[in-house]
Amino acid sequence: MLNRWSAEDAPDRSDPVAQLVYASRLLGADTGLVLHGGGNTSVKTTVTDLTGEPVEVLHVKGSGSDLATMDASGFTALRLARLRALLRLERLADTSMMNELRCARLDATAPDPSVESLLHALLPHPAVLHSHADALLTLTNQPEGRRLVEEVYGDSVVVVPYVMPGFDLARVCAELFPAQAHPGTVGMVLLNHGLFTFGADAEEAYHRHIELVGRAEERLARRTTPSRAAGSGPVDRVRLARLRAEISEVAGAPMVLSRYDDPTVRAFLGRADLAAVATRGPVTPDHVLRTKRVPLVGTDVAGYAEEYRRYVAEHQGRARAPLTVLDPAPRVVLDPDLGLLTAGRRATDARMAQDIYRHTIDVISAAEAIGGYQALPAGDIFDVEYWELEQAKLRRGGALPEFAGEVAVVTGAASGIGRACAEALQARGACVVALDRDPSVAEGDGVARLGLQVDVTDAAAVDAALDTAVERFGGVDIVVAAAGIFPASQEIAGLDLQAWHRTMAVNAESVAYLFSRTHPLLALAPRGGRVVVVASRNAVAPGPGAVSYSASKAAVTQVARVAALEWASDGIRVNVVHPDAVFDTGLWTPEVLAARAAHYGLTVEQYKRRNLLGTEITSARVADLTAALCGETFAATTGAQIPVDGGNERVI
């Protein structure tokens, strides 16, 4: 375990909160310590309040923030005296505890404090750091977990048996810690959960943290994991999309399904005892919220859902209030052929499950090598999955955006209408696969956006892009064909055949090809596939001097109409928009604009608003219409051609 502390970068200890921010970020920077909001940190100080009174406070991580990106605003200052009073209570429901913690804030607008705040409060040291370190979980998720911890740490740590986080855990620690701690105590191990270290300041607590995790790592390194790698070949994208459709169906909503593959994953999937070791439970209970208790091993989604319902039925008597039952779909799929797949309602959910499961693989593999991986009993995991605080979050949680869990492929997405369509769909919750021959299409990529440099007339490149898209997101729900070119003005008498071919290839043939390749994916879209072709006013009202463009847009309109006929029975809607005079696009260089204006004997400004409404038509306007066509408003519309041209006498 790398000690990342830098005396040069670290803030001075005279500013304990700044030093804590620094230490928190160092913990967060190491995915072997904490992942996605896991872990928490605190420091105790004395401040002077408005009345001039000194107040002892606990600055503790607020819930919902991530240690890796922590800043001072992510901490909440709580009155320590009040926390200590709460610790004297025999019992307290966790929702009541959260209410008390909120009321103990110095600043009512500070974030909700960590659910482990009381645990931080009871430790007598000023600075406290808590992680869910992989190495420690490997050591404690064993039948002999406690013995191993004692072997590695001697009596330098207090060992606490597993108790669910919340008031009950704080209460148990409040009893065990003072009874076991002595001047040489530098940490506290919560079996099957994680590690606490503490010190006079965040620097001391951090050094102790890294030192203790390092000792666990040394103990693990004495054994090596034998591995036999599973085969890795190209994965059939339709098979992946079918699995995603099945998962979405049992989830009751479209799900993103993301594939991950590397030698470690392949070695794990190649284990003869995969089904046995992978279904014992998560490495620390709060992972259940991202990964569910167990992964689906294989591809029997219906069987998994049935098993999940049985698990809920078996344990729901443990809950103190009626439950909002979660969907029974898996979040992690382990299949020796398909690889490690993770599912979520949003791309970020699938990514978090993926990150967590990659660490789970490390922990299980290492734990098996030193004895045997053993997780907590299912009932304990159920308690966290259906914790009253999590249930309250579910009831509060707002609706997800319109296209959450759906995947849109947009061509011509580096500029103009294509780019605006990609942005509009992503803003409405879709994952976007943005294709363009311009490499700038990859700029601004994130978890929910994948930009790929592709010439849409290159069939092999389009196929490869679809493979990548489905590996990343699990399928294709929406296709927006916006890539297009506008060749130089030219009358038929002087036809340049090469320009004609190129225009037809980009504007029409590439769309027909894209359709042929995306059809099986669209047919598997959980809410039905949707396609929008960005054609042109020229398709219905052609322009002199634009024969290639007008003919190509008429051709692609016809492709869409035939697709609407052929695909209606597959639940796929295909519609066409006919924009006109959209000048914020890649097609309209100032030279082309000037040439077209001159052709009509108009100034550029007159030419821009040359429509009945006298309005300017922007890419964003076209994108709004395109997104709407993919939405519920147009659920009963297919084969339509909608102008977005400000009104045109020749079209009307």
Q: Provide the annotated active-site residues.
A: 549
Q: Which is nearer to Zn ion, 194 or 344 (CB)?
A: 194
State which residue, 116 or 368, has the beta carbon closest to Zn ion: 116
> Shortest approach of Zn ion to residue 170 CB, angstroms?
12
| Residues 6 or more apart whose Cβ sits within 8 Å of residue 493 | none
Q: How far is the CB of 164 from Zn ion (least distance, A)?
A: 11
| Residue nearest Zn ion (C-beta atom) | 194
The string of DSSP codes covering 147-161 is HHHHHHHTTSEEEE-
Return the residues of window 417-476 that contact Zn ion according to CB under 5 A: none
Q: Which is nearer to Zn ion, 40 or 391 (CB)?
A: 40
Site for Zn ion in 186-245 (CB under 5 A): 194
Closest CA to 437 of 409, 466, 457, 421: 457
* CB nearer Zn ion, residue 130 or residue 358: 130
Q: Which is nearer to Zn ion, 126 or 194 (CB)?
A: 194
- How many Å apart are CA 579 and CA 646, to the nearest integer? 9
Q: Which residue's CB is nearer to Zn ion, number 68 or number 564?
A: 68
Identify the bridge partners of residue 633 per DSSP, sorted by sequence position.
Answer: none
The answer to whether 438 touches 453, Cβ cutoff 8 Å, is: yes
How near is the Cβ of 38 to Zn ion at its closest, in Å? 7
Minimum distance of Zn ion from residue 287's CB (angstroms): 11
Residues 94-113 interacting with Zn ion (rule: CB under 5 A): none
Query: How many residues bind Zn ion, per CB under 5 A?
Result: 1
Nearest distance, CB of residue 161 and Zn ion, angstroms: 15
Q: For residues 634 and 537, is the Cβ–Cβ distance under 8 A?
A: no
Inter-axis angle of helices 459-473 and 237-251, to 10 degrees? 30
| 506 vs 484: CA distance, rounded Å | 6
Dist CA 145 CA 161 (whole Å): 10
Distances in Å between the Cα of 40 and the Cα atoms of 114, 263, 306, 319, 551 are 7, 32, 36, 26, 63
Give whichever of 166 and 475 is closer to Zn ion, judged by the CB atom: 166
What is the C-alpha radius of gyration for the chain, rounded to an integer number of angstroms? 30
* DSSP letter assigned to residue 506: I
In the sheet with 194-199, reading across from the earlier edge strand, the strands are 75-79, 54-61, 40-48, 127-131, 194-199, 187-190, 157-160
Structure tokens at 398: 């707002």
DSSP letter assigned to residue 637 = -
Which distant-in-sequence residues (6+ apart) come within 8 Å of 256 by Cβ?
244, 343, 344, 345, 346, 347, 349, 350, 405, 407, 431, 473, 474
H helices of 448-589, in order, are 459-473, 497-504, 510-522, 537-540, 547-567
165-194 residues near Zn ion, rule: CB under 5 A: 194
For 285-320, give the DSSP string: GGGHHHH-SSPEESS-HHHHHHHHHHHHHHHGGG-S
* Residue nearer to Zn ion on the CB measure, 38 or 451: 38
State the nearest-atom distance from the C-beta of 194 to Zn ion, in Å: 5
**Alpha carbon 422 to chain centroid, angstroms:** 18
| 62 or 194: CB nearest Zn ion | 194
Which residues here bind Zn ion, judged by CB under 5 A?
Answer: 194
